[in-house]
Structure 1
Amino acid sequence: MNITFSLEEINEVAQKILEQNPNKVMLFHGEMGVGKTTLIKALAKQLGITETTSSPTFSLVNEYQTTDNQPVYHFDFYRLNKEMEAMDMGADEYLFSGNWCFIEWADKIPNLIPDLHSVISLELLADGKRSLSLS
């Protein structure tokens, strides 16, 4: 799936992503400020999360519950220095739990990523819109 969108359309884009039946472990690639966290917030909303969501930059992982009590995990590994730090926090247990796992800066933990995963790549365009590809 490839799509170009404005931030005003992000909820519709999140719905379209979920309609593609992606793998539950989703890697988000893109430069800082491109909108990875904003898109994850929209995906969380589409999955039925009603609580406020935020970037787990300092905690590394935030856990949310959908309205039917299913956990959703949001990771931000930007601050990691070594992959072992993710192992120490039990990231592998989250990633192989069968629950939704949205991962920013997954390149910091290449050996922990399950084989079955989806990748969302975001790019900021000159006109302020975003280009998204899902694979």
Structure 2
Amino acid sequence: MEAITIKSLSALEEAVEKLIKHIKEHKVVAFYGEMGAGKTTLISEICHQLGVGERVCSPSFAIVNVYNSDEKRPIYHFDFYRIKKLEEVYDFGYHDYFYSNDLCLVEWPEMVEELLPEHTLRLGIEVVDEYTRIVKMR
């Protein structure tokens, strides 16, 4: 399991450059971590580096936000924190997103673990202290 240590927000850009090399091999990326671990911050920087010009924020109430990258391909950003039953995920057509061949970035994947595609890149974000995070790829 490879890990990347991020010691401050100023180190985020370089860390995401390394992560993007791994992300390009996957279409679904799941972000695991406690509340406040930095999932949305990490996703925001990934989107920025992929050419998203708009503001990236967690889709807590909408469940999914759609951004456009430099390649004019959509990037789907999910937040499953508020999901109570899998039926809610079926209702909005998760399959069409996860198997679209477009990048899907998933916060709170624990809620839909059984629906994630086989080749999902899983990133665990460990909080070390107020500024330091370790991102483990599996």
Taking structure 1 as the reference length, what is the TM-score of the superposition? Answer: 0.95
For 1:31, the equivalent position in structure 2 comes to 34
Task: Give the distance between the partners of 2:43 and 2:25, measured in 1 at CA.
Answer: 14
For 1:125, the equivalent position in structure 2 comes to 128
Does residue 65 of structure 1 match 2:83?
Answer: no
For 2:4, the equivalent position in structure 1 comes to 3
The Cα shift of 1:51 comes to 1.0
Larger CA deviation: 118-127 vs 97-106 = 118-127
Q: Give the residue type in structure 2 aligned to 1:125.
A: V
Aligned CA distance change for structure 1 residues 56 and 120 (closer, same or farther; 3 Å): same
User: What is the 5 A alignment of 1:1-135?
Assistant: 1-5=2-6, 6-20=8-22, 21-126=24-129, 128-135=131-138
The Cα shift of 1:13 comes to 1.1
Task: Give the distance between the partners of 2:119 and 2:4, measured in 1 at CA.
Answer: 22
Taking structure 2 as the reference length, what is the TM-score of the superposition? Answer: 0.93
Moved over 3 A (4+): none
Q: Secondary structure at the match of 1:126?
A: coil
The unaligned stretches of length 5 or more in structure 2 are none
Percent identity reads: 37
Task: Give the distance between the partners of 1:65 and 1:11, measured in 2 at CA.
Answer: 20
The Cα shift of 1:127 comes to 5.5
The unaligned stretches of length 5 or more in structure 1 are none
> What are the Cα deviations for residues 48-83 of structure 1, in whole angstroms up to 9, with x where unaligned?
111111110010000000122100000000000001
Q: Secondary structure at the match of 1:13?
A: helix
Q: Secondary structure at the match of 2:114?
A: coil
